[in-house]
Chain A
Amino acid sequence: MTKLSPLKRGVVVFLILGVLTAIEYYLGVNDVPTILLWAIAIIKLLLVLQYFMHINRVINPNKGGHE
């Protein structure tokens, strides 16, 4: 994922989030165990934190898109 350009990475993450949301919806309307919905939500949350919010920039201040 890190080898992709930022724009392509955004597209890939968005597609993964979309698929996960569709799965989440399907599972939710079919009364599956709640733990599965939690698992999907946490995966989505981690993806956004890592690839959209760039949480690494806080941990490592030298990283970042601008000087």
Chain B
Amino acid sequence: MSSINNAIVSYQQKLAINRLGLWLFFASDAFMFGGLLVARFYLLGNKNLNLDQTLGLLVTSILLISSFFMNRAEVMVSEGNHKGFITSLVITILLGISFLVGVVGLEWGSAHFGPGDGAEGAVFYMMTGMHAFHVLTGIIFLSLVLRNGLNKKYTPEKHYAVEASANYWHFVDVVWIIYYPVLYLMGTI
């Protein structure tokens, strides 16, 4: 065991291992989201869920803008711009909360079916619910990074937690990039 510890000597090596571990997690999580995607086509085929298109576009835009600000936060911390980093991170968190309100607070309330109303309800609430859960955990993750950021624990040289939280946030965005057309745009009513 000590030989393994001795082998991992540099921060660069730890960084490479941390990155690989995070991406393995993304891969495993993608299988879960992929399973739900397959279930949507298996249960509903080419049927469109007839959801509120304006609200769908709005929440998608919010998540897209949040991804931009998360990327900006990561760039800012790597350039040593503390104020820019904190500002971008706060905007990302607020946009994430807005996305949650849009999907869980508004879309769930305006959908013309409930969670128990057959395949439509099962597919829609499971897919959006599981994604919203990831958004929620992302907000918690970003809040912890924000707290550490306010305590100036990140430097341009060492800020892997910022990179990891940014990647997690972008992963959540990637899932929605696929889920948005699948839930809102594809199929016929």
Bound together: yes
Chain A positions near chain B (C-beta within 8 angstroms): 6-7, 10-11, 13-14, 17-18, 21, 24-25, 27-29, 31, 34, 37-38, 40-41, 44-45, 48-49, 51-55, 57-58, 61-62, 64-67
How far does the alpha carbon of A13 sit from the alpha carbon of B19 in the complex, in Å? 23
Number of interchain pairs (Cβ within 8 Å): 100
Count of chain B residues with Cβ under 8 Å from any Cβ of A?
43
Known: A6-B75, A37-B185. A14 touches B68 (CB 8 A): yes
Contacts of B47 in A (CB 8 A): none
Q: Dominant SS at the A interface? A: helix
Interface class of chain B by DSSP: helix
Residues of B at the A interface (CB closer than 8 Å) are 11-12, 15-16, 19-20, 23, 46, 53, 57, 60-61, 64-65, 67-68, 70-72, 74-75, 78, 156-160, 163, 166-167, 170-171, 173-174, 177-178, 180-181, 184-188
